[in-house]
Amino acid sequence: MCKMQKCLAAALALAVIFFGFVIIRVGIAKPSTKFELAKIPEEQKLHASAYKDAYPLQYNSFMKNNEMTPSPTGYGGSLAHVSYLEEQPEMLENFKGYKFAVQYDVARGHTYTGEDFVTTLRLPPQKGSCITCKGSYMYDVYFKQSGWEYASKPIAEIMAPMGAEDWFGCPTCHDPETMQLRVYQQGFVEAMARRGVDVNNAPHNDMRGYVCSQCHNEYYFMAEDGRVNHPWDNGFDPEDEFQFYQSGQAGAFKGDWTHPDSGAMMLKAQHPEFENWVTSVHHDAGVTCVDCHMPYMRENGQKYTSHWMTNPLKSTEQSCLKCHDESTETLIARVKTINDNTFKLQRIAGQTCAQAHLTIQAAAAAGATAEQLAEARLLIREAQWYWDWLAAENSYGFHNTDKLMKSGALAIDRAHRAIESARMVAPNVTLAPMPVYVEAEHWNAAQHPGVEPPTAEQSAM
């Protein structure tokens, strides 16, 4: 071979090694797991324990959801009754007059879904719609019988026949006949159909996102019949969803409650994990909820999907390092930096909203009329929507950092405009004091064993 040919051959060899490596990496990211389909007795289909012998690896890892461990970043974590209201007392003002000011705890493992639902202080007056995202009972028993009828019935009646094992079981994500992933939450199916997506015929990789997204999203109950619906017709940004509620696209549903201080009709945002993931860099790179939260594991040479759906930084090696070259420490530190910055913005936004409620209240007390305060009330409704959209999302900024930061920025802007608007119509009213301390340390029970959380007064100092 001449010199030129040698160079070409070397270049070709290098290219083969390089692309081979890329293919291997992609291959590592998507291995297939093998399992033998078992027949589960009909009357036990909803109960996780009935799957134990047939699928021990999946069952045992699912039971790890009982484990209560903090998150490596100190944010979130699977802990019993760590209260957001104690951690961020501005929520007491922002959710005043609504059940979220009574009890609002950090989420924990899926195996606690039934227990936490049955015992929450938010529950008593609710309707059947609430069990829609607490397992597949609502579908396999109620929906198959009579469609959405369960949604408008009193929750006590709906829960009465349910046993402890009827909540979050294997059919919550799997078709019990085939063990294939399934999306059956009809509100999600219908809202996605309006966007032109047929989730029941979606590619397999999309299903690995939709199966979680059918619950982890923003929703509302339709005023007519309690059906679950989602505000996605205009897009997945917080502005798109706000526009949906403002423009009458939600029908007779106008809001969740009227705030007793500001008098504004408010919206409660709910955990928009789906909306943030589906527009994130990771989604665009083909990475789904399952890749991070349910990584592949090995036991005795057998490859299986981890069913411990928890904070992925507890398994950084399996969840992240198959794609990322950084060390575990670097990656966790990077996520914590995102969390620290996002949390600070979230606190400032939440406290500015609280200040706006109080300033509007003072303006009304000083004689401003409902007509004069209409603009300020609309602005605090919008401000709090953006703040809550950030605060209710469970990743403290990680899933979609720029979008969640934007939501916080919009919240601060609209809250200041609400304050300005209220003071324009009641010029003698002074700015209500910022109710809570901005620098309040992020409080996490696991990091302060045996120490009581700060009271609202302490945090305000």
How many residues bind ligand HEC, per CB under 6 A?
76
User: How far is Cα 11 from Cα 358, in angstroms, rounded to an integer?
Assistant: 69
Query: Judged by CB, which is closer to ligand HEC: 131, or 380?
Result: 131
- If binding is defined by CB under 6 A, does position 174 make contact with ligand HEC? yes
For residue 241, give the nearest of 393, 343, 413, 88 by alpha carbon: 393
Rounded to a whole number of angstroms, the minimum distance from the CB of residue 21 to ligand HEC is 15
For residue 210, give the nearest of 185, 229, 232, 233 by alpha carbon: 185
Binding to ligand HEC (CB under 6 A) within 132-161 occurs at: 133-135
Rounded to a whole number of angstroms, the minimum distance from the CB of residue 399 to ligand HEC is 6
Query: Judged by CB, which is closer to ligand HEC: 228, or 383?
Result: 228
**Which residues, 6 or more positions from 178, have their beta carbon under 8 angstroms from its beta carbon?**
37
Single out the residue of 14, 23, 80, 285 in contact with ligand HEC (rule: CB under 6 A).
285
- If binding is defined by CB under 6 A, does position 290 make contact with ligand HEC? yes
For residue 135, give the nearest of 176, 104, 80 by alpha carbon: 176
- Radius of gyration, CA atoms only, the chain: 24
Binding-site string for ligand HEC from residue 342 to residue 381, where x marks contact by CB under 6 A and - marks none? ----------------------------------------
Query: Judged by CB, which is closer to ligand HEC: 249, or 328?
Result: 328
Query: Judged by CB, which is closer to ligand HEC: 93, or 291?
Result: 291
Query: Judged by CB, which is closer to ligand HEC: 44, or 234?
Result: 44
Q: Which two tokens stand for residue 354?
A: 């609280």
CB 46 within 8 A of CB 140: yes
- If binding is defined by CB under 6 A, does position 341 make contact with ligand HEC? no
CA distances from 343 to 216, 237, 374, 441 (A): 20, 20, 31, 10
Rounded to a whole number of angstroms, the minimum distance from the CB of residue 184 to ligand HEC is 9
Binding to ligand HEC (CB under 6 A) within 76-105 occurs at: 76-78
CA distances from 452 to 39, 156, 395, 432, 439 (A): 49, 34, 25, 29, 18
User: How far is Cα 129 from Cα 125, in angstroms, rounded to an integer?
Assistant: 12
Single out the residue of 107, 392, 409, 446 in contact with ligand HEC (rule: CB under 6 A).
107
The distance from CA 279 to its chain's CA centroid, rounded to whole angstroms, is 14
CA distances from 454 to 79, 351, 444 (A): 18, 17, 11
Query: Judged by CB, which is closer to ligand HEC: 181, or 460?
Result: 181
Binding to ligand HEC (CB under 6 A) within 182-211 occurs at: 208-209, 211
Binding to ligand HEC (CB under 6 A) within 6-65 occurs at: 29, 33, 35, 48, 51, 55, 58-59, 62
Single out the residue of 91, 151, 158, 335 in contact with ligand HEC (rule: CB under 6 A).
335
Single out the residue of 250, 266, 294, 404 in contact with ligand HEC (rule: CB under 6 A).
294
Single out the residue of 47, 108, 357, 381 in contact with ligand HEC (rule: CB under 6 A).
108
- If binding is defined by CB under 6 A, does position 405 make contact with ligand HEC? no
Query: Judged by CB, which is closer to ligand HEC: 108, or 414?
Result: 108
Query: Judged by CB, which is closer to ligand HEC: 152, or 394?
Result: 394
Single out the residue of 310, 351, 361, 459 in contact with ligand HEC (rule: CB under 6 A).
310
CB 360 within 8 A of CB 380: yes
- If binding is defined by CB under 6 A, does position 444 make contact with ligand HEC? no
Torsional sign, CA 244, 247, 252, 255: positive
Single out the residue of 151, 287, 353, 391 in contact with ligand HEC (rule: CB under 6 A).
287
Single out the residue of 137, 184, 221, 277 in contact with ligand HEC (rule: CB under 6 A).
277
Q: Which amino acid is at 338?
A: I
User: How far is Cα 316 from Cα 328, in angstroms, rounded to an integer?
Assistant: 6
Query: Judged by CB, which is closer to ligand HEC: 217, or 359?
Result: 217
CA dihedral 441, 443, 447, 453 (to 10 degrees): 120
Q: Which amino acid is at 198?
A: D
User: How far is Cα 105 from Cα 80, in angstroms, rounded to an integer?
Assistant: 8
